[in-house]
Chain A
Amino acid sequence: NAGVTQTPKFRVLKTGQSMTLLCAQDMNHEYMYWYRQDPGMGLRLIHYSVGEGTTAKGEVPDGYNVSRLKKQNFLLGLESAAPSQTSVYFCASSYAQPGTGGDQPQHFGDGTRLSIL
């Protein structure tokens, strides 16, 4: 019953360092998403994927890259970390496309807390 697993759970980086956040889901979901959550801002979509090998930009994609080489994994990369990227990052997955009525729920991981010094 793992659902959506995010690694690592916590990380502190220095400005300019790079890192990759890993998201894995075991529910055979087609859609996967990366969000960031900042105080008072709700959840903002960074990038998402509608299937293996596909990616698309969300609301706040600058400074991030993603890859979906395998259906179950969705990686979020920070090439050169900046203090503005200090946030809590959430990965989510779902069966079907939201907005089509009778939407499938998004299943979230427990987040990665990232601090950039």
Chain B
Amino acid sequence: TQLLEQSPQFLSIQEGENLTVYCNSSSVFSSLQWYRQEPGEGPVLLVTVVTGGEVKKLKRLTFQFGDARKDSSLHITAAQPGDTGLYLCGRGSTLGRLYFGRGTQLTVWP
């Protein structure tokens, strides 16, 4: 069962462009975490969103949690090659585990 749907699966853009990736669920979740994974490394947490409608910014990255807490988005402004990586969203459960989406593979070309 895929509890989280991420889109798009792949994204290839030029440096300087803007982009948005999405994380959606059919059910409400209490919080959502976004991770970035670079080649050959493990995922690293970028942000946790908890409150419906919440917006968090991390330099050129803007994270939004939907009002109904069923979806989240990550917007990158003026993408740079260093933003290249796999972006994963993950939601928690009461069973002590985190469910991840399948990820968005972003490539930013110089």
Which residues of A are in contact with B by a Cβ distance under 8 Å?
4, 31, 33, 35, 40-45, 48, 50, 56, 58, 90, 92, 97-103, 105-106, 108-111
Contacts and interface: CB of A to CB of B under 8 A. Distances in A.
Contacts of B88: 42-43
A48 B97 contact: yes
Contacts of A98: 31, 33, 90-93, 96-98
B7 to A, nearest CB: 13
15 contacts: A43-B88, A43-B90, A45-B99, A90-B42, A99-B30, A99-B93, A99-B96, A101-B30, A101-B31, A102-B50, A103-B92, A105-B48, A106-B45, A106-B90, A110-B42
B42 A45 contact: no
Interface of B: 6, 9, 29-31, 33, 40-45, 48, 50, 88, 90-103
Contacts of B94: 97, 99-100
Contacts of A97: 92, 94, 96
- The A contact surface, by secondary structure, is loop
Contacts of A48: 96-97
Given A48-B97, A110-B41, A100 B102 contact: no
Contact of B44 (A42, A45, A58, A108): A108
A57 to B, nearest CB: 10
Given A98-B97, A99-B92, A100-B92, A40 B9 contact: yes
Most buried by A among B9, B48, B88, B91: B48
A100 to B, nearest CB: 7
Nearest to B44: A108
Contact of B100 (A43, A102, A109, A111): A43
A102 B9 contact: no
A93 B38 CA distance: 19
